[in-house]
């Protein structure tokens, strides 16, 4: 099925997921950091101090998220989406009226919880349940909302702040959530979709539905998580300290801002291509490769000093972002089923929020301690290479075991403990 036919047939559900991802931008780091300079000036905060405040608020949101994620397994997604958008609108309005640091911390906590956390959790959990045979394509199209927000909303914020001031821009964001995000997201979701309307290809099989407890006891889950946490940590760090990086290199902020649009365009193209690859091969098989462009991006950003490097590392970053956004949406239901997907995804999203919190906080403190920021970025690139190698070993080992399980009739206790530690499928009783 072509993307056009797929969109025409499933427009209401894809549009709802797209809208949720798009409007999650008001709680994403790239949008909040647009007010970074004004917030630090108004509250008298250094880069490190604001980074620690931001980290604390984000850590608190990550701790809260698993308790809310399970609601998606017990209640209709549209009801959770409606309540969440109202809460996010209240948080954006609160930012406009924050005058004390404790209130600022609370506001950041609510923005991170209901924006980056729950908005994307609702979108990807619902999409994972709505689609099976074409889950890769669906995730690619839905997560385009994240990239569209990254490309469009910084410019919109700048224009609003010029006319209304930075506080007025946050009030405008609250109005957008109430009068655009609420109807565009909730109304299409009120009609559910049966994923069995698109039968699974013969090459694909349904997986057993894991509980959250089973997933948390699986060493394979935590190994995969170590890889998938790299993009939120690295991306958030680069976005949060973008002003510092431009000052360090002597780049114009306009040239760096132009790189965002280039990164977003690359992300969109790669995301769509990745969706088709996932439907053809599976998300698991693509897992070892998605961090390699990010590693190259870090090495370029760490070593190059000319403005020519901005489009280079932004394109490389866009390739990994596009692959990871689609890949990670399809990976968890592919491995663990959909019955408890809300509870399982809430753990993964919480960990990703945690990673995005640690990035600005840790690097901000290291910057204040005069630790070279380019050296920190290079270390991030090295981590990506290590995790790519680990994922390659993991996937090969798992594939071999699955082939043996499919061809050999088990005669005794299954499986050996060495494989239990890495296999994302527990024994059947």
Give residue 418's pLDDT band: very low, low, confident or very high (50, 70, 90): very low
How deeply is 335 buried, as exposed, middle or buried, from its count of CB atoms within 10 A (0-12, 13-18, 19+)? Answer: buried
> What CA–CA distance (Å, rounded) separates 43 from 41?
6
Q: Is residue 200 part of a domain?
A: no
- Pairwise pLDDT comparison (141 vs 106), residue with the higher score: 106
Give residue 25's pLDDT band: very low, low, confident or very high (50, 70, 90): very high
Tell me how crowded residue 155 is: count the other CB atoms within 10 A of its CB: 12
267 Cβ neighbours under 8 A, 6+ residues apart: 147, 150, 318, 319, 321, 322, 325
Mean pLDDT value across residues 232-253: 83
What backbone phi and psi angles, to 5 degrees, belong to 290?
-70, -20
Cβ–Cβ under 8 Å, residues 258 and 270: no
Could you read off the pLDDT of 174-204 as tens digits, one per residue? 999 999 999 999 999 988 776 655 555 544 4
**What does pLDDT average to over the chain?**
83
Pull the structure tokens for residue 429: 């009783």
Which whole-number Å values give the CA distances from 104 to 60, 64, 90, 112, 363, in the listed order? 14, 18, 13, 12, 21
Mean pLDDT value across residues 326-330: 80
CATH number of the domain bearing residue 134: 1.20.1250.20
- Pairwise pLDDT comparison (335 vs 291), residue with the higher score: 291
**Residue 53: pLDDT over 80:** yes
**Residue 218: pLDDT over 60:** yes
- Pairwise pLDDT comparison (87 vs 250), residue with the higher score: 87
Q: Is residue 267 part of a domain?
A: yes
Give residue 409's pLDDT band: very low, low, confident or very high (50, 70, 90): very low
Could you read off the pLDDT of 122-153 as tens digits, one per residue? 998 888 888 877 778 888 888 888 878 877 88
pLDDT at residue 253, rounded to an integer: 75
pTM score: 0.72
- Radius of gyration for the alpha carbons in the chain, expressed in angstroms and rounded: 21
Domain that holds residue 377: 11-190+209-420
Q: Is residue 201 part of a domain?
A: no
Pull the structure tokens for residue 78: 């549209």
pLDDT at residue 428, rounded to an integer: 45
Q: Distance from CA of residue 119 to its chain's centroid?
A: 11
**Residue 59: pLDDT over 70:** yes
CA atoms within 13 A on the CB side of 52: 9
Tell me how crowded residue 226 is: count the other CB atoms within 10 A of its CB: 14
Which of 101-110, 262-271, 281-290 has the highest average model confidence (pLDDT)? 101-110
**Residue 267: pLDDT over 50:** yes
Q: How many domains does the chain have?
A: 1
Mean pLDDT value across residues 278-307: 89
**Residue 211: pLDDT over 90:** no
> What CA–CA distance (Å, rounded) separates 95 from 108?
8
Q: Is residue 18 part of a domain?
A: yes
Please list, residue by residue across 133-151, b when 16 or more beta carbons sit within 10 angstroms of its beta carbon and e when fewer do: bbbbbbbbbbbbbbbbbbb
Q: Is residue 5 part of a domain?
A: no
> What CA–CA distance (Å, rounded) separates 124 from 137?
12
Nearest Cα to 127, choosing from 42, 14, 269? 14
Pull the structure tokens for residue 285: 């098989």
pLDDT at residue 413, rounded to an integer: 37
Give residue 422's pLDDT band: very low, low, confident or very high (50, 70, 90): very low
Q: Is residue 425 part of a domain?
A: no
pLDDT at residue 408, rounded to an integer: 57
Q: Is residue 204 part of a domain?
A: no
**Residue 415: pLDDT over 60:** no
Which of 37-46, 128-137, 138-147, 379-388 has the highest average model confidence (pLDDT)? 379-388
Q: Is residue 111 part of a domain?
A: yes
HEC sequence for the chain: CCHHHHHHHCHHHHHHHHHHHHHHHHHCHHHHHHHHHHHHHHHCCCHHHHHHHHHHHHHHHHHHHHHHHHHHHCCCHHHHHHHHHHHHHHHHHHHHCCCCHHHHHHHHHHHHHHHHHHHHHHHHHHHHHHCCCCHHHHHHHHCHHHHHHHHHHHHHHHHHHHHHHHHHHHHHHHHHHHHHHHHHHHHHHCCCCCHHHCCCCCCCCCCCCCCHHHHHCCHHHHHHHHHHCHHHHHHHHHHHCHHHHHHHHCCCHHHHHHHHHHHHHHHHHHHHHHHHHHHHHCHHHHHHHCCHHHHHHHHHHHHCCCCCHHHHHHHHHHHHHHHHHHHHHHHHHHHHCCCCHHHHHHHHHHHHHHHHHHHHHHHHHHHHCCCCHHHHHHHHHHHHHHHHHHHHHHHHHHHHHHHHHHHCCCCCCCCCHHHHCCCCCCCCC
- Pairwise pLDDT comparison (424 vs 189), residue with the higher score: 189
Give residue 108's pLDDT band: very low, low, confident or very high (50, 70, 90): very high
Nearest Cα to 14, choosing from 118, 126, 149? 126
């Amino acid at each position: 099925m072509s993307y056009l036919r797929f969109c025409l047939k499933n427009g209401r559900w894809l549009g709802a997921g797209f809208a949720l991802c798009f409007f999650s931008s008001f709680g994403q780091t790239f949008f909040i950091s647009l007010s970074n300079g004004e917030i630090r000036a108004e509250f008298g905060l250094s880069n490190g101090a604001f980074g620690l405040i931001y980290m604390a608020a984000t850590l608190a949101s990550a701790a809260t998220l698993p308790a809310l994620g399970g609601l998606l397994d017990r209640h209709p997604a549209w009801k959770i989406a409606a309540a969440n958008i109202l809460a996010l609108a209240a948080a954006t309005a609160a930012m406009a009226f924050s005058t004390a640091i404790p209130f600022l911390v609370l506001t950041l906590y609510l923005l991170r919880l209901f924006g980056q956390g729950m908005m994307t959790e609702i979108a990807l959990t619902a999409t994972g349940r709505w689609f099976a045979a074409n889950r890769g394509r669906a995730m690619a199209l839905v997560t385009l909302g994240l990239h569209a927000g990254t490309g469009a909303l910084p410019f919109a914020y700048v224009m609003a702040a010029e006319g209304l001031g930075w506080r007025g821009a946050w009030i405008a964001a609250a109005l957008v959530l109430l009068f655009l995000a609420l109807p565009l997201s909730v109304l299409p979701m009120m009609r559910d979709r049966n994923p069995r309307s698109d039968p699974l290809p013969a090459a694909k099989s349904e997986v057993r539905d894991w509980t959250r407890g089973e997933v948390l006891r699986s060493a394979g889950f935590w190994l995969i998580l170590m890889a998938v946490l790299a993009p939120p940590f690295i991306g958030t760090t680069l976005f949060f300290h973008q002003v510092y990086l431009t000052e360090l290199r002597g780049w114009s902020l306009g040239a760096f801002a132009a790189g965002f649009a280039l990164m977003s365009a690359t992300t969109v193209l790669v995301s769509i291509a990745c969706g088709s690859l996932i439907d053809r091969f599976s998300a698991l098989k693509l897992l070892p490769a998605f961090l390699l462009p990010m590693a190259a991006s870090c090495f370029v950003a760490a070593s190059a000093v000319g403005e020519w490097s901005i489009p280079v590392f932004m394109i490389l970053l866009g390739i990994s972002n596009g692959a990871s956004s689609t890949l990670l949406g399809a990976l968890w239901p592919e491995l663990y089923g959909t019955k408890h997907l809300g509870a399982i995804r809430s753990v993964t999203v919480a960990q990703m929020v945690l990673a995005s919190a640690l990035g600005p906080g840790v690097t901000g403190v290291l910057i204040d301690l005069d630790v070279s920021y380019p050296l920190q970025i290079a270390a991030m690139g090295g981590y990506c290479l290590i995790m790519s190698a680990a994922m390659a070993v993991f996937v090969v080992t798992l594939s071999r075991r699955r082939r043996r399980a499919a061809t050999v009739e088990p005669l005794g206790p299954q499986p050996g403990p060495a494989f239990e530690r890495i296999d994302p499928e527990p024994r059947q009783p």
